[in-house]
């Protein structure tokens, strides 16, 4: 079974969304994301996406996805970010690699605005590596 990271997105101390990132989708960046733990960061609201800035150097993965759906969590190495698909996005500005999915709170994420501050917590799913 592939290792899974649980992500939790909080604003003002309250959890607004949860999701998961799977090693099998982003094997080259998984360990760097795993080590991130908990961080305070900002977001950028772009047409169809919510970009979450990460204090990490990310590398390109092997396969690029081209068809995304709302709730997908994407990795954007060129931007050093995670991107969450909020609605049917226009053509991508970056190379995106699917990393996982939002499991709850997608609607709440769509209320965030550019430069909003969030807390991003990353933990290994219980019972896994």
Q: How many domains, in total, are found in the chain?
A: 1
Query: Among residues of the chain, what percentage have pLDDT more than 70?
Result: 90
Q: Is residue 129 part of a domain?
A: no
What pLDDT is recorded for position 129?
52
Contact 38, 120 (CB under 8 A): yes
For 42, the domain range is 4-124
Q: Per-residue pLDDT averaged across 112-124, rounded?
A: 96
Provide the pLDDT for residue 90: 64
What CATH number does the domain containing 52 carry?
2.40.100.20
What is the pLDDT at residue 46? 87
In this predicted model, what pLDDT tens digit does every residue of 66-99 receive, in sequence order? 778 999 999 999 889 999 999 976 666 678 899 9
- Reduce the secondary structure of the chain to three states and give it as a string: CCCEEEEEEEECCEEEEEEEEECCCCCCCHHHHHHHCEEEEEEEEECCEEEEECCCCCCCCCCCCCCCCCCEEEEEHHHCEEEEECCCCCCCCCCCEEEEEEEECHHHHCCCCCCCEEEEEEEECCCCC
Q: Is the pLDDT of residue 117 over 70?
A: yes
């Amino acid at each position: 079974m592939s290792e899974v990271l649980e992500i939790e997105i909080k604003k003002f101390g309250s959890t607004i969304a949860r999701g998961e990132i799977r090693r099998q989708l982003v094997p080259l960046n998984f360990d760097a994301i795993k080590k991130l733990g908990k961080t305070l960061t900002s977001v950028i609201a772009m047409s169809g996406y919510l970009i979450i800035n990460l204090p990490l150097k990310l590398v390109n993965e092997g396969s690029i996805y081209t068809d995304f759906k709302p709730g997908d969590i994407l990795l954007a190495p060129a931007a050093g970010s995670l991107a969450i698909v909020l609605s049917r996005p226009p053509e991508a500005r970056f190379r995106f690699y699917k990393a996982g999915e939002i499991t709850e709170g997608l609607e709440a994420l769509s209320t965030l605005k550019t430069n909003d501050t969030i807390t991003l917590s990353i933990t290994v799913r219980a019972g896994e590596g």
